[in-house]
Amino acid sequence: MADENAEKNSIFDLNKDGKVDVQDLKPIFEKITAPRVFISLIISLGFLALIFSSSYATSADYTNAPDAPEIITSSDFDLDNNGLNSSENENYTDALLQYADDLDEYIDQLDAHNDLMNTYTGRSIFWGTISSALIVGGLVCLTFVPNAIEMSNSVRLTLLIGTIYMLAGMLGYNMPGVDAAIGFGFGS
């Protein structure tokens, strides 16, 4: 009965010391480090970085700037439409001082907003660059690692040509007969 529970509770066979044997982990390690898994991981990370790039670009484009303070005119304080008298002028002067403080605060908020949008734009460019490098790198590995995946020579040759064009576009070379968009925006 105790042996049956031990088999149900453990995936691995335990040795005499109650530890997992290294030989039990070897097949798992071989599956994880297989070329197919490694290439899939590189390409998947590339698409994840592309999502990060897109989210930062969207944040940089659509985040609203702070609202400017309302502009003050002397006619707002001229109640009897005959020019500012002393009490109206005092209120207008106080309002101008308050407006100056609000304007300084607005300028500080606008500078912080612009810095944040520049940061988002930089992160978008960074993640876009990383994503392109990972995707093209995964395709290069897929093309040149012969045992990674079963494919015919014609498919491998087509993938090789496409990968060369993408790699050249990523490095900034203009390959003949291909739209520049194939390089995922690299080199432009």
- State pLDDT tens for residues 14-44: 556 666 666 666 777 777 777 788 888 898 9
Query: C-alpha angle with apex 29: 33 to 153, nearest 5 degrees?
Result: 30
> Among 27-36, 55-64, 83-92, 126-135, which range has the highest average pLDDT?
55-64
Place 74 in a pLDDT band, splitting at 50, 70 and 90: confident
**Amino acid at the residue 167:** L
How far apart, in Å, do the first and last CA atoms of the chain sit? 69
Q: How many CA atoms lie less than 13 Å away from 96 in the CB half-sphere?
A: 10
pLDDT for 188 equals 47
pLDDT for 8 equals 47
- Backbone angles phi and psi of 33, in degrees to 5: -95, 15
pLDDT for 62 equals 92
The two tokens of residue 91 are: 């209120």
Residue carrying the six token digits 């044997």: 21
Give per-residue pLDDT as tens, 104-159. Answer: 999 999 999 999 999 999 999 999 888 888 888 888 888 777 776 777 778 878 88
Tell me the C-alpha distance between 90 and 32, whole Å: 77
